[in-house]
């Protein structure tokens, strides 16, 4: 893919000699997209430091062995955002997600400054969902009360397990008691929060997985994220794989999770996401519905739509390289236009994660392509029983959810 230059703020302006119809098409290259409207826009802020790198983690995170340069990083985030503004002029932000790493290592004053910078530079929707990731072991009641006062209105807590043996195997810095204390602090300060749990852990039994899920549900969190442990490339677990439950045992755990969450009133709306009524994660839904997001911070990714093209970006990953390049006015390491041949797959890669699927018209709205560009794959998936579709809706069947990777791969160009 060939890197391209960002669109200038005045791109598309014409001189008086051109009429409106000419102006709309004068700069279009053959095969350019035709997006009737731009999708909702979110902001992602990446905080790259953590106390200790977990052996399963493939996110852009770095151990803060000797602390981290909080003020310099906040300066860089503001400068990064200022430099990106011409790409999103006039667009409102509907959700903000502060992820990492461990953003809850930030001081209360640092988070307050970050939120002030965001509000001063961007038009936030009055009902914006503002989520921050936090890990047990970094919880202090006063600090989290300050986070709430600064504007964070949703917390996502990385519990992973309540079992001390499994927490040790996962390299987590907290124990079960600290996990419970973190949830209590969250409940006291936030009416909207998520608990992250993992299953199919090294040496985990069905009964132990069920105990974790039951403990989490006992706190009545508005949202649950339940992830199957995967051994991702370039992680410690990939080099030294632990013994994990086999496919049959993992399937039993998935069935247990479905039964337990359903009985407790949670609806599964995505592969790993379960929510009480009205509590779905709006930020993540925007990703899965192929919405737009601007990512700032070390290693952050962006997907930005324009009337005639869709662009992806990635910031420099290493914190020092990111800081240096922001100072030089060039925080983006990679930038490319998504080709027409890739758009159908990229849309389906996200949208087919949704249990309820998507409305037929959404494909054209978000990709600028006609649905018949993926008709062959749709028909094949339907014939294999992996997909259901009618005049209004396309969604994975229960079989399609079980073999989601196979279903998604069918849409590769």
Dump strand ranges (E) for 307-386. 309-315, 332-337, 358-359
Number of compact structural domains in the chain: 2
Per-residue CA distances from 158 to 58, 62, 183, 232 (Å) = 15, 17, 10, 18
Does one domain contain both 134 and 254?
yes
Question: What's the number of CA atoms in the CB half-sphere (13 Å) around residue 216?
Answer: 32
Residues in Cβ contact with 373 at an 8 Å cutoff, skipping those fewer than 6 apart: 344
Assigned domain for 23 exists: no
**Do 303 and 310 touch, CB atoms closer than 8 A?**
yes
Q: Tell me the residue range of the domain where 158 lies.
A: 41-286
Enclosing H/E stretch for 21: helix 20-25
Q: Which residue has the tokens 């018209």?
A: 361
CATH for 67 = 3.20.20.70
Whether residue 282 is found in the same domain as residue 347: no
Residue 183 lies in a domain: yes
- Indicate which CATH number applies to the domain containing 394: 1.10.10.920
| Whether 275 and 363 share a structural domain | no
Task: From 143, 141, 124, select the one nearest 181 (Cα to Cα).
Answer: 141
What is the DSSP secondary structure assignment for residue 27, as one 8-state letter? T
Give 195-226 pLDDT, tens digit per residue.
999 999 999 999 999 999 999 999 999 999 99
How far is it, in rounded angstroms, from Cα 257 to Cα 244?
Answer: 18
In the block, tokens 């990385």 appear at 158
Over 50: is that where the pLDDT of 16 sits? no
DSSP one-letter string for 277-323 = TT---HHHHHHHTT-EEEEESTT-EEEEEETTEEEEEEE-SSHHHHH
- Domain co-membership, 237 together with 110: yes
| 36 in a structural domain | no
Domain edge (last residue) among 224, 254, 286: 286
Whether residue 352 sits in one domain with residue 271? no
Cβ(24)–Cβ(76) below 8 Å: no
Q: Strand, helix or coil at 34?
A: coil
How far is it, in rounded angstroms, from Cα 218 to Cα 402?
27
Q: What is the pLDDT of residues 384-411, one digit of tens each?
A: 999 999 999 999 999 999 999 999 999 9
My answer on whether 135 and 282 are in the same domain is: yes
- b or e along 121-140 (b: 16 or more beta carbons within 10 Å of the residue's beta carbon)? ebebeeebbbbbbbbbbbbe
Q: How far is CA 76 from CA 95, 137, 206, in A?
A: 21, 27, 46
With cut-offs at 50, 70 and 90, classify the pLDDT of residue 413: low
For residues 234-241, give the mean pLDDT.
87
Exposure class string for 87-111: b at 16+ Cβ within 10 A, else e:
bbeebebbbbbbbbbbbbbbebebb
Q: Examine the fold and report which residue of 286, 308, 331 is the final residue of a domain before the chain moves on.
A: 286
Q: Is residue 303 part of a domain?
A: no
Residues 279 and 349 in one domain: no
The answer to the question of residue 4 being in a domain is no
Same domain, yes or no, for 192 and 47? yes
Q: 355 and 261, same structural domain?
A: no
Q: Do the domain assignments include residue 302?
A: no
CB atoms within 10 A of CB 342: 18
Of 250, 268, 286, the one marking the end of a domain is 286
Cα distances from 45 to residues 80, 318, 384, in angstroms, run 10, 15, 40
- 282/344 same-domain check: no
> Does some domain include residue 20?
no
Q: Are residues 276 and 360 in the same domain?
A: no
* Banded pLDDT at 29 (limits 50, 70, 90): low
pLDDT of residue 13: 29
In a domain, 72, yes or no: yes
140-190 pLDDT, tens digit per residue, is: 889 899 999 999 999 999 999 999 999 999 888 888 888 999 999 999 999
Residue 26: predicted pLDDT? 36
Query: How far is residue 232's CA from residue 392's CA, in Å, rounded to a whole number?
Result: 37
198 in the same domain as 60: yes
Q: How far apart are CA 68 and CA 110, in angstroms?
A: 12
* pLDDT tens-digit series, residues 331-380: 999 999 999 999 999 999 999 999 999 999 999 999 999 999 999 999 99
Which pTM value belongs to this model?
Answer: 0.90
pLDDT above 90 for 138? no
| Residue in this structure with the two tokens 């079992």, named with its chain if needed | 163
């Amino acid at each position: 893919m060939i890197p391209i230059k960002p669109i200038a703020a005045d791109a598309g302006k014409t001189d008086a000699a051109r009429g409106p119809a000419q102006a709309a098409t004068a700069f279009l290259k053959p095969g350019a997209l035709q997006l009737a409207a731009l999708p909702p826009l979110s902001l992602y802020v990446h905080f790259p430091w953590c106390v200790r790198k977990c052996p399963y983690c493939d996110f852009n995170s770095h151990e803060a062995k000797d602390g981290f340069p909080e003020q310099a990083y906040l300066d860089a985030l503001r400068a990064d955002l200022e430099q990106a503004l011409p790409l999103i002029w006039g667009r409102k932000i509907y959700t903000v997600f502060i992820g990492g790493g461990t953003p809850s290592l930030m001081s209360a004053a640092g988070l307050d400054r970050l939120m002030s910078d965001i509000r001063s530079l961007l038009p936030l929707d009055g009902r914006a969902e503002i989520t921050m990731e936090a890990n047990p072991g970094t919880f202090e009641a006063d600090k989290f009360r300050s986070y709430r006062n600064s504007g964070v209105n949703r917390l996502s807590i990385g519990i992973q397990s309540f079992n001390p043996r499994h927490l040790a195997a996962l390299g987590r810095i907290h124990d079960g008691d600290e996990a419970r204390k973190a949830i209590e602090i969250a409940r006291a300060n936030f009416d909207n929060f998520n608990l992250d749990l993992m299953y199919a852990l090294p040496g985990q039994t069905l009964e132990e997985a069920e105990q974790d899920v039951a403990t989490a549900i006992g706190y009545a969190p508005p949202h649950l994220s339940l992830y199957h442990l995967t051994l991702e490339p370039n992680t410690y677990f990939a080099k030294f794989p632990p013994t994990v439950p086999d496919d049959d045992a993992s399937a039993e755990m998935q069935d247990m999770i479905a039964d337990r969450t359903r009985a407790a009133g949670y609806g599964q709306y995505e592969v790993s996401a379960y929510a009480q009524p009205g509590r779905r994660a709006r930020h993540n839904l925007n990703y899965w519905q192929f919405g737009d997001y601007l990512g700032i911070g070390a290693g952050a990714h962006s997907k930005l739509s324009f009337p005639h093209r869709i662009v992806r970006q990635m910031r420099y990953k290493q914190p020092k390289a990111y800081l240096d390049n922001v100072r030089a006015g060039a925080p983006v390491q990679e930038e490319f236009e998504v080709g027409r041949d890739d758009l159908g797959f990229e849309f389906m890669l996200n949208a087919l994660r949704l249990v309820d699927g998507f409305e037929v018209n959404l494909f054209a709205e978000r990709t600028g392509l006609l649905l018949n560009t993926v008709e062959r794959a749709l028909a094949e998936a339907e014939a294999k029983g992996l997909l259901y579709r009618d005049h209004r809706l396309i969604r994975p069947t229960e079989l399609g959810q079980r073999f989601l990777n196979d279903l998604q791969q069918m849409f590769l160009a």
